[in-house]
Chains A and B, each alone.
Chain A
Amino acid sequence: MTGVKVSDDRAGDVRLGRIGKGVRVLVALAGIGLLINGSVQASDDAWPFGPMSQYAGSVADDASITYTRISAQTDAGTTVDVPLNIEGAGVARAEIEARTGEIVADPSKLQAVADGWAKKHPDKPKYVKLELIRDTTTLVKGRVVGPPKSEVLATWQVRR
C-alpha cells in the first residue's frame, strides 16, 4: 500500500447519498452487534451469527480424551479402521460421535456404514463385522503417557 493515499479526498470519487450511506453504516453496525451477541451468548445454531467456538474449549491437564472409531473385519480376513468421511463410508466421524448413544442402543444402525462402504467401493473387500470402539487417552500433567485404552461399545454382524 505504497504511493496512493487512500484517505485523500478526490473530486472524481463516486459518493453515496445521505440515505445510502446511513443505511450502509447501520447495516454494518447491526451485523457487528449480531456477531458480538453470538460470541457472548449464542450457540452454533445461530450460524453465521454464532460464536467462533472452534477449539475454544479448555482441556484440563488430567483430562480423558476420547476418540471414537469403527473397526471392521472384512471378507478378505483383514481388520481395518473404517474411513469415517464422505469418500470412505459416507458418514463423518462427527456424525458417529454425535450418535454414539443411538448406535449403542441399536447396533443395527451400523449396517448403514457397511452399506455405504460397499456402495462407494464395490471392488474393495466387504465388511462382515463392525465394532464401534472408543479409545480413551488419559493425560498426566498435560502429557500423553502410554497408548489409549480401547473399549468396544457396540458390535454388528453385517447382513449381506
Chain B
Amino acid sequence: MKTVANWFTAPIALARIAWLRTILYLFVILDMHAFVRDTRLKGEHPDLYKPLLLERLFHLPTPSVANTTALYYVLLVACLVGATNRFPRIAGWVVAPAFTWWVLIGMSDGKVDHDHLALTVALWVLPTVAPTKAGNPYADQTRSEAAGWVIRCVQISVICTYFLSSIAKLRGAGWTLAWPNSAILTWAIVRRPHPVGEWLLHHPWLLHVMQWVGIIGEFLSPAILWLKGRWQLMGALFFLGFHAANTAILLIHFLPTVVCWLAFAPLERIVPWWRARRTAEAAGAAEEAGAAGAAEATAGSARDAGEAEDEAEDRGQAKEQAGA
C-alpha cells in the first residue's frame, strides 16, 4: 500500500514544475488560436450548441459573444501570469476551469477530439504545488512529493491517451482483434486525401503493418511509466515517431498530447547544464585572454571566479536544503 502511494508521489525537483508551468500556459494560448480556435465563433452561433455531459452537469451557460469573449481574455491574462511563475497557484486555478470550459464549448458541435486529455489534467494538477519561495524557480532543485504527484498524473494521462485508444479499438470491433486487419486507414485516407496517403492506398499491406504497430505500441505503452533512462527515452521517441507518421498520413498532429511528454523530461537539469556550460566557456575565454594579455586575463579569471562563486552558492543552498 505504502509502495503504491510512494509510486504516485515519487519526489521530483520543483524546477520541473516551473518549466512545465511556463511551457504549458504558453501552449494554452497557442492552442486557443491554432487548435481549439472556434470557441468564440460558437458564441456567435449558439444554435449549433449541443452541450456535453459536464456542461449539463454544471449548468454551464450557452455560449454567447459576451461570455466567450470574457473567457478568452480571462484565459489570456491568467496564462500570461501563470507562465511567468508569479502567483502560479491563483493563475493556475483560473486557467484550469476556464480552459476546460473553452475546450468543452469547442467540442460541443457533435465532434469531440481526443488529444486534450493530458493537457487538461496537467492544468488541473499544476496549481496544487506551492511555488518556490525565493530564488530562481527554474533552478530550484528541491525535490517535492507534491511535485512528483503532479508529474505522475500528467505522465499517466499521456500514457492513458495511447493505452485507452487500444482499448477503444478492441471495443469498436466488438471486443475482437479485427481492427488491425481492417481497412480503417484506407477509409481515413479516402476521406482526407493528400499525396502521401494516396501513394499508400496502392499498398494496403503497408497500412495493415502500420495498424498492427500502432495498436501493439498503444497496448504496451504503460510500460513506459516503469522504464528508466535510455529505455524510457526510446519509448518516448517511438510515440513521437508515431505522431509524425499520423501527421503525414492522417493530418492529425496531437500536439496538445505531445507537449505533455515533457513531463517525462528532466527539465530541472536545464539551468545546471546551462551554468556549467557558461562556466566552461568563461574558463576557455580566460585562457585565450591569458595568451593575449595579462591585464585582460585578470579580468577574465575574475569573471570566472564570480561564476564559480555563484555555483558554490547554489550547491551550498542545496546542501542546506538537504540538511533541513
Contacts and interface: CB of A to CB of B under 8 A. Distances in A.
Contacts of A148: 190
Contact of A52 (B143, B168, B250): B168
B30 interface: no
A38 B323 CA distance: 46
A58 B173 contact: yes
A14 B146 CA distance: 8
Contacts of A80: none
B165 A54 contact: yes
B160 interface: yes
B167 A40 contact: yes
A56 B171 contact: yes
B324 interface: yes
B285 interface: no
Given A1-B229, A12-B318, A86-B37, A65 B187 contact: yes
Interface string B1-18: 000110011111000000
A11 B322 contact: yes
B186 A24 contact: no
Interface stretch (B83-91, B106-114, B294-302): B106-114
B47 to A, nearest CB: 10
Interface stretch (A43-51, A70-78, A124-132): A43-51
Given A25-B5, A25-B8, A10 B322 contact: yes
Contacts of A22: 5
A55 B179 CA distance: 10
Contact of A60 (B104, B128, B171, B182): B182
Interface residues on B, range: 35 or more
B132 to A, nearest CB: 11
Given A1-B233, A48-B120, A58-B173, A14 B323 contact: no
B290 interface: no
Contacts of A63: 183, 187
Contacts of B100: 48
Contacts of A7: 10
Given A12-B321, A48-B120, A53-B172, A39 B201 contact: no
B192 to A, nearest CB: 9
Given A56-B172, A143-B204, A31 B183 contact: no
Nearest to A66: B191
Interface in B183-211: 183-188, 190-191, 201, 204
A20 B150 CA distance: 13
Interface string A80-113: 0000001000101011001000000000000000
Contact of B172 (A25, A47, A58): A58
Contacts of A139: 183, 186
Contact of B5 (A21, A44, A54, A137): A21
B28 interface: no
Contacts of A35: 117, 160, 164
A46 B144 contact: no
Nearest to B201: A144
B31 interface: no
A59 interface: yes
A23 B116 CA distance: 24
Given A15-B145, A54-B113, A45 B52 contact: yes
A1 to B, nearest CB: 4
Interface in B116-165: 116-117, 120-121, 128, 142-146, 149, 152-153, 156, 160-161, 164-165
11 contacts: A6-B11, A10-B143, A47-B54, A52-B167, A54-B113, A54-B165, A55-B185, A67-B191, A94-B111, A98-B110, A143-B186
Interface of B: 4-5, 8-12, 37-38, 41, 48, 52-54, 100, 103-104, 107, 109-114, 116-117, 120-121, 128, 142-146, 149, 152-153, 156, 160-161, 164-165, 167-169, 171-173, 178-179, 182-188, 190-191, 201, 204, 228-230, 232-233, 250, 252, 266, 318, 321-324
Given A22-B5, A32-B156, 8 more contacts: A12-B142, A12-B143, A14-B144, A14-B146, A24-B8, A31-B156, A86-B41, A142-B183
